[in-house]
């Protein structure tokens, strides 16, 4: 595992915690805009926080990294889909796109492709 991968893991994990804990009001608004239920929102939020925790634990236990990074990448692709479906401007799409790119980078490093 490279230093860059560790930095990416920390950036992804911290970003998710900031959005899902400290900016939850924004998450609520977006999930309503997308027509998704509170149950789906809570499942996605709990999943993202749990997967982020595994990414941080993966700094010390690298075997933990691949699956959480893949699942977070899937959730970021899903976020992109809903942003496009809702017609959101590119500024709203960028955070999940950047996190998707970071997750794919983490996956590539974990698989020793980079």
Indicate the number of domains in the chain: 1
pTM: 0.94
Q: Which pLDDT tens digit goes with each residue over 26-46? A: 999 999 999 999 999 999 999
- Residue 94: CB atoms within 10 A of its CB come to 11
| Distance between CA atoms of residues 63 and 24, nearest Å | 30
- Parent domain of 48: 3-110
Per the CB < 8 A criterion, the answer to whether 31 and 41 are in contact is yes
Q: Which pLDDT tens digit goes with each residue over 39-91? A: 999 999 999 999 999 999 999 999 999 999 999 999 999 999 999 999 999 99
């Amino acid at each position: 595992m490279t230093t860059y991968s560790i930095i990416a893991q920390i950036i992804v994990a911290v970003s998710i915690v900031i959005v899902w804990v400290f900016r939850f009001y924004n998450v609520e608004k977006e999930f309503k805009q997308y027509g998704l239920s509170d149950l789906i929102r809570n499942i996605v939020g709990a999943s993202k926080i749990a997967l982020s925790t595994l990414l941080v634990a993966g700094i010390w236990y690298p075997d933990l990294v691949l699956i959480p990074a893949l699942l977070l990448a899937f959730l970021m692709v899903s976020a992109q889909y809903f942003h496009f479906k809702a017609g959101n401007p590119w500024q709203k799409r960028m955070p999940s796109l950047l996190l998707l790119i970071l997750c794919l980078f983490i996956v590539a490093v974990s698989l020793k492709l980079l």
